[in-house]
Structure 1
Amino acid sequence: MTKTKKKMAFGTIVLQLAILTGILFSIHNFLILPYLKKYSFYWEPWKIYTFHFITVTALIYFLRHRSKIKPDKVLNAFITLSLLKMIAAVLFLSPLFFYKTINPTATVFSFFIPYFLYLFFETSYAVKILNPTK
């Protein structure tokens, strides 16, 4: 596979991720939030989805980079990067737990439901790297 095709493949993955982000953000912002007006959220939805988009894009970029250098170490890289992403998620949510005037339940749910959907996306991509079609 040429270098240009690999770049286009990464661009395709980022485009798929952007479409997923747009769909999830639209569902969250226009269908779910109007019914949850009684709750106050610490983070606005666009900040949550920006966080998810950036972390998943970075994870996929580093997985692709690792697969070019040491293809046999992709699984280790995926596990390490997933742990770093979990730490980043805890750091992202940490102000919420110290701010006592807001009930954190709604914000935590609005963060972790997309978190697991993005985790499914990145895991399916990691499986494609680990089991390439011949």
Structure 2
Amino acid sequence: MKKKLQNPYVSIFLFSAVILLIHYSIDLVFKVVTYYSLFSIYVFHIISALAVAAIVQLVYKKSQDHAGFAFMGTSLLKMLAAILFLLPGFLSDDKPSFTNILNFFIPYFVFLIFEAIQVIKLINQKETPAN
């Protein structure tokens, strides 16, 4: 089981499921009316987290010293993608409320922290000698 949790892709899906359930429960309790659906928000976050993990893993395999830079670069691209994701709402006549913006950015930063922890674990992992 621990080996499966070390796989970043499995970790992303498990983490996403837990966060989505918590977020959905909070929205249900407080009856939040959202401009962006939770489904579309989480599809964005899951796809971007998988892309970040894949790129960082690829760079780490090629050059371990540059994995941190790959994470910073993909984080910048993710930030630009988030702006593009939110742009239609800001350009429409029916602008999203502050609650709707928080509905997107709280999971954004939670996923960012999760990705950073995953990258730190990857960079700091100790090489085990082959038996």
* Residue matched to 2:15: 20
Counterpart of 2:37 (choices 38, 44, 55) is 44
**Cα distance in 2 for residues equivalent to 1:73 and 1:10:** 24
Answer yes or no: is 1:110 the counterpart of 2:78: no
CA distance in 1, matches of 2:16, 2:38: 11
Which residue is 1:79 aligned to?
Answer: 72
Aligned partner of 1:131: which letter? N
Question: Scaled by the length of structure 2, what TM-score is found?
Answer: 0.85
How many angstroms apart in 1 are the aligned matches of 2:104 and 2:28? 13
The number of aligned residues is 125
The amino acid of 1:29's aligned partner reads Y
**Identity percentage of aligned residues:** 30
| 4+ residue segments displaced more than 3 Å | 8-11
Report the Cα distance in structure 2 between the residues aligned to 1:81 and 1:13, rounded to whole angstroms.
16
Per-residue CA deviations over 1:54-92 (Å, capped at 9, x if unaligned) read: 100110111000011111111211111110000000100
* Aligned residue in 1 for 2:118: 125
Q: CA deviation at 1:30?
A: 2.7
Please report the RMSD computed on the Cα atoms of aligned residues, expressed in angstroms: 2.0
Higher relative contact order (CA 8 A, sep 6+): 1
**Residues 82, 126 of structure 1: CA spacing in aligned structure 2 closer, same or farther, 3 A cutoff?**
same
Give yes or no for contact 2:35–2:100 (8 Å, CA) kept in 1: yes
